[in-house]
Amino acid sequence: MMLQGIDSPKTITKMDMLISICKRVGVNIIGASYEKILEAIKIYQEFLLSAYHHNLPYKQIESVLFTNILQRPNMIIDSDVLDIKWASVYLPFIDYAVTDKSFCNLLQASGLADRYGTKVYSFNTLNDLLNELEYAA
C-alpha cells in the first residue's frame, strides 16, 4: 500500500485510526493487502452496526453522563470528558470508585452508580470508603 501525503496531521490521524481498526479485527496493517484492509474495515463497521455493539453499556452510560453534564451551568472541561470516558468503560465492572465531588454527585444523581451497583465516593468521603472496606474485610 502506497502512503502519500502523510505530512498532514489529518492524514496521520486517519492512519492511526486505520491501524487501530485493523488491530481490533486481527489484521496487521504492515504488509496487508488493500483488499485485506478493506475487509477489516467492513468487519469493524458490521460490528458497530450490530446488536452486540448497541447492547454494550458504554454508549448508554456516556450518553446519560453527557446529557446530565450539558445541563449544568458551567462549561465542560477536559477532565469532565475524561471522567465520562472512564466511567463509561469501567462503571459496570467495578464495586467502588473515587472521584471528585462534582463527578461523584453526577454519577449518583444520574442513577448510574445504583444501576451498576457501584459505590461512588468523593475525595471528601474517603473515610466512609475506608470504613466500608474495613467492615467488608
Q: Is 12 exposed, middle or buried (0-12, 13-18, 19+ CB in 10 A)?
A: exposed
pLDDT at 120 over 90: yes
> Does 78 or 113 have the greater pLDDT score?
113
Share above pLDDT 90 across residues of the chain, in percent, rounded to a whole number:
42
Question: Using 50, 70 and 90 to split pLDDT, how confident is the model at 11?
Answer: low
Residue 83 CB partners (closer than 8 Å, separation 6+): 65, 99, 100, 103
Question: Using 50, 70 and 90 to split pLDDT, how confident is the model at 106?
Answer: very high
pLDDT at 1 over 80: no
- Quick: pLDDT tens for 21-55: 788 788 887 888 888 888 888 888 888 788 877 77
pTM given for the model: 0.62
78-90 and 57-70 helices cross at what angle (nearest 10)? 150
**Residues 102, 136: Cα–Cα separation, whole Å:** 27
CB 102 within 8 A of CB 83: no
The per-residue pLDDT for 10 is 54
DSSP per residue over 11-48, as a string? HHHHHHHHHHHHHHTT--STT--HHHHHHHHHHHHHHH
